[in-house]
Amino acid sequence: MKRRDFHQLLQGSAMALALSPWMKDVAATESKLHAWRANPFALGIASGRPRADSIVLWTRLLFSQEDRAVETEALRVDVEVFADANLKRRVQKAEVFTDAYRAHSVHLHVQHLKPSTDYWYRFRQGDAYSPVGHTRTAPALNADVRELRIALSSCQHYEQGQYIAHAEIAKQKLDFVLFMGDYIYESSNPQYAIRKHSGEEPKTLAQYRERYEQYKRDPMLQAAHAAHPWVLMWDDHEVVNDYANDQDRQYTDPQQMLLRRAAAYQAYFEHQPVLLGPDKDNPANMRLYEQLSWGKLADVWTLDCRQYRSAQACRDPVRGGGRMVVQCDELSDSTRTMLGNEQERWITDSLSQSKRQWKLVAQATQISSTSIPAPVGRSYWNDAWDGYPEARKRLLQTVVDAKLSNVVTLGGDVHCNVAANLRLEPNNPQSPIVASEFVTTSITSRGLGDKPAALIRESNSDLLHYRSDERGYGLITVTSKEARCDFRATKFPAGSEAGLKTQASYVVKSGKPGPQAV
Ligand SMILES: [Fe+2]
């Protein structure tokens, strides 16, 4: 095939994918070149979901007052992918039509790329060009890979700090950013606000879009997106605090709750470099959990711990959601699920069959126990895996049954840096360590007070490191010898001039479960 024909073929396939079913009703007519008064790319750009031969590129057009006249039109956005930072060697070009129905968001699933290769990309509409982004594909499935570098991050409450962790992430040499949820917060806590959310608590599609607009305008967050591909999972605050499937804390009618969730999921999709999953027509049913391989070195799974879970055990009848529970018989109900039956079957099969050296199981919250002594028995936080102990046991039993070594779980949500042993029976030294856990603290969101954090640390021998006082991210480096986590951290609240230091470093040696302090 001639080189020119090949490129035409690529352009054709990229266009076909851009017009996936959810996009099919865009009036794909030639749109006139618009002379923009204000930059329509004010929300930045992003790439994500790296695979050996593909990547997802994202942007969303924004309209100033002076540009409002074209907001009702379907607009053509040109996308270019280059093999060099100087944009001299263009390897792909595509056109994507978008319109107000999808908030003028643009998703392009670029295919036929080379493995382990750097690419640069930009968007154009009319006379406006986006910033240039850098991205990189995953290695070939059978490639020998020397190193995998990930920034593990979560929980970026806009009001509670500046995104200086993202400014550092943008400068790191990384394969990808692994963001495990709470990308936006629907709620406010004025007591800890150093800057303000605009608008009220989002419940409608328009309100969720407005919330993403505010977050996406942040220059440090934009820099981290422009520098690396992201692998994304959501947690609860992308919809509403502590939600579980179709339940919220107010016991809202589940049908009403699902409408709110659908609006939140659609807004999530419109603002992230992700795909819709099997149900391409409907962001409300978006399947975000996936598996990603990194050569022969590692498999990475991202688990959705919100969309399919059972409601929290022993909820307060007035105010549901997360709380500490004691003497709660519901905890031992083996029909309760964190992942839903379908996802649980999928991770059980996929994990059991994994032949890669490292198995990195990324999920949104904490698997190790944070229970504390109570006058009768122990008290458990029912929103994390402590509230789903039977589901946790099944996940860890899979590791034992399949005789897997080098399983490392990665999490977020709890606003704590955690290095922990994972045993079938938490905190029981007689129960063998079967896997290792690293949980990152939040980018900005406030952590636990010193006293409860100290009590949790003292009450759980599996917690080797547990600090909630600082903000930051986890720099994960995986080689054939070890999986290392450097907890990069700064004090709360993170100011724009603050710097990060390494709070602690832990390694898991290949073949020996359990993190060790460095
Ligand atoms: Fe959070």
pLDDT per residue over 119-153, tens digit each?
A: 999 999 999 999 999 999 999 999 999 999 999 99
Position 498 scores a pLDDT of: 86
Neighbours of 72 (CB within 10 A): 9
Query: 469 pLDDT band (50/70/90 cuts)?
Result: very high
291 Cα–ligand 1 center, Å: 23
Kindly give the distance from the C-alpha atom of residue 155 to the centroid of ligand 1, in angstroms, as a whole number.
4
Tally of residues, the chain:
518
pLDDT tens string 185-216: 999 999 999 999 999 999 999 999 999 999 99
> What is the 154 CA–ligand 1 centroid distance (Å)?
7
H-only helix segments in 63-218 = 164-171, 205-216
Single out the residue of 150, 73, 88, 223 nearest to residue 477, CA to CA: 150
Is the pLDDT confidence value at 27 over 70?
no
Give residue 365 CA to ligand 1 midpoint distance, Å: 9
- Centroid of ligand 1 to alpha carbon of 253 (angstroms): 25
d(CA 387, CA 317): 17
Tell how far the Cα of 443 is from the centroid of ligand 1, in angstroms: 9
Q: Which CATH architecture has domain 150-517?
A: 4-Layer Sandwich (3.60)
Residue type, 375: P
Q: Is residue 17's pLDDT more than 90?
A: no
| 495 CA → ligand 1 middle, Å | 18
- The predicted structure's pLDDT at residue 206: 97
Distance 28 CA to ligand 1 centre (A): 40
7: pLDDT strictly greater than 80: no
Residue 384 scores a pLDDT above 60:
yes
**Residue 305 reports pLDDT greater than 60:** yes
Q: How far away, in angstroms, is 364 Cα from ligand 1 center?
A: 9
With a cut of 70, say whether residue 304 has pLDDT above it. Answer: yes
Q: What angle is formed at CA 86 by the lines to CA 80 and CA 92, rounded to 5 degrees?
A: 20
- Distance from residue 369's CA to the centre of ligand 1 (Å): 18
Rounded to the nearest angstrom, the distance between the alpha carbon of 230 and the centre of ligand 1 is 18
User: How far is the centre of ligand 1, averaged over its atoms, from the C-alpha of 505 (Å)?
Assistant: 22
Find the 102 Cα to ligand 1 centroid distance in Å.
27
**pLDDT band per the 50, 70, 90 thresholds, residue 475:** very high
Distance 226 CA to ligand 1 centre (A): 23
Mean pLDDT of 81-95: 97
CB 77 within 8 A of CB 125: yes
Whether the CB-CB separation of 126 and 154 falls below 8 Å is answered with no
Q: Which is nearest to 132 in space by CA: 31, 25, 226, 208?
A: 226
Both tokens of 234, joined, read: 């959501």
The percentage of residues in the chain with a pLDDT greater than 90, rounded to a whole number, is: 90
∠ CA 189-191-196, rounded to 5°: 60
pLDDT at res. 22: 55
Nearest residue to 505 (alpha-carbon basis) of 474, 480, 478, 468: 474
Mean pLDDT computed over every residue of the chain = 94
Burial of 410 (0-12, 13-18, 19+ CB in 10 A): buried
Which of 218, 198, 207 is closest to 260 using CA atoms? 207
For residue 458 the two structure tokens come to: 């003292």
Taking the centre of ligand 1 as the mean of its atom positions, its distance from the CA of residue 412, in whole angstroms, is 8
CA of 446 to the centre of ligand 1 (A): 8
- ∠ CA 313-317-323, nearest 5°, is 50
What CA–CA distance (Å, rounded) separates 149 from 476?
6
Q: What's the pLDDT at 497?
A: 85
CA of 497 to the centre of ligand 1 (A): 23
Q: How far is CA 398 from the centre of its chain?
A: 24
Torsion sign, CA atoms 279, 281, 287, 288: positive
Q: Is the predicted pLDDT of residue 482 greater than 70, yes or no?
A: yes
Instruction: Please give the Cα distance from 220 to 210 (Å, whole number).
Output: 19
- Which of 225, 256, 234, 404 minimizes the C-alpha distance to 305? 234
Domain 3-136 superfamily per CATH: Purple acid phosphatase-like, N-terminal (2.60.40.380)
Nearest-CA neighbor of 240 among 232, 250, 230? 250
Q: Tell how far the Cα of 51 is from the centroid of ligand 1, in angstroms.
A: 28
Ligand 1 geometric centre to CA of 379 (Å): 21
pLDDT surpasses 50 at 236: yes
How many angstroms is it from 82 CA to the middle of ligand 1?
36
Q: How confident is the model at residue 280 (pLDDT cuts 50, 70, 90)?
A: confident
Q: What average pLDDT does the segment 154-163 reach?
A: 98
Contact 43, 221 (CB under 8 A): no
Question: Which pTM value belongs to this model?
Answer: 0.95
Domain boundaries, the chain: 3-136, 150-517
- Distance in angstroms (rounded) separating the CA atoms of residues 272 and 44: 11
Q: Determine the distance separating the centroid of ligand 1 and the alpha carbon of 413, expressed in angstroms.
A: 4
411-432 residue pLDDT tens: 999 999 999 999 999 999 999 9
pLDDT of the residue at 15: 40
